[in-house]
Structure 1
Amino acid sequence: MADTLTGDTITPQMLRFERELAAPIETVWQYLVDSDLRARWFMGGPTQLHEGGALGLTMRHGNLADETDPMPERYAPYDGKAWSETITKLEPPRLIAFTWSGGEAGEVTIELDRIGNDRTRLVLTHAGLRGPDDARNFGGGWGSHLAVLERRLEGKHIASFWALHAQAEAAAAKALGLSA
């Protein structure tokens, strides 16, 4: 397997995902900060790229797969929802941090480190979670979005975002000792 899982930590208060990605740091950085590229693996939206600026997010998860990928009923009310979070730290091309739910559901920090000329270590930490429900929800979300990012950077086909999401959510539930 070309992409390498080097470590995940899932607790009721914090998530930490570490991935080795098959792209130079500059490319990975663009997938984090360019709205159009970010929309291909996570959520795009208008962004003011400076500390204190807005990170725009629009949920269009039906667009993350390369095939028709019906959204599960429980997520349908969120389709098209747009909002912004606040960028709290910015050190291009190495680090971006932003609030989640205005800080009510913590802060997300994404750190990048160069591995040679053509690989990047990404560490995503979502700290300040409100408990096991947040950890399962965000664990499933971040796990699946990072799986899409890995595949996009490798030029691989993505049949179903929602299948990746179900796998990631089950892994988060298992790590938390919850039923899937």
Structure 2
Amino acid sequence: MTSPATAFASADYGRVIAPDAVRIERLLPGPIERVWSYLTEENKRRLWMASGTIGSSEGAAVEHVFRHSGLTTEDDRPPKK
């Protein structure tokens, strides 16, 4: 049985939709072109989340490499909205 806290945390961060898939939805500030570039371009995505590859077709493999010690400094942050 899932505790109320665990159920809330799961719903807050994402939803398992299949044994090998998680759906995460967020409302992000800024124009769609800028948001999309920070999601799909590895050199930008690694500045705020993780490096790695994202396949270009539906169902393609995704690999995120998290190296928190190598995250950007104050000077490297994306521009404010």
Please give the TM-score of this superposition, normalised by the length of structure 1: 0.29
Gaps of at least 5 residues in structure 1 are: 1-9, 68-150, 156-180
Structure 1 contact 45–56 (Cα < 8 Å) conserved = yes
- Distance change (3 Å), C-alpha of 1:20 and 1:42: closer
Counterpart of 1:32 in structure 2 is: 39
* RMSD over equivalenced CA pairs, Å: 2.7
Gaps of at least 5 residues in structure 2 are: 1-6, 14-24
Counterpart of 1:51 in structure 2 is: 58
Counterpart of 2:12 in structure 1 is: 15
Q: How many residues align?
A: 62
Q: Sequence identity, in percent?
A: 29
Larger RCO (alpha carbons 8 Å, 6+ apart): 1
Counterpart of 1:154 in structure 2 is: 80
* Structure 2 Cα separation of the partners of residues 20 and 43 of structure 1: 17
- State the Cα distance separating 1:46 from its structure 2 match: 2.0
* Higher strand proportion (structure 1 or 2): 1
Q: Which runs of 4+ in 1 moved over 2 A?
A: 16-20
Please give the TM-score of this superposition, normalised by the length of structure 2: 0.58
**Partner SS, residue 51 of structure 2:** coil
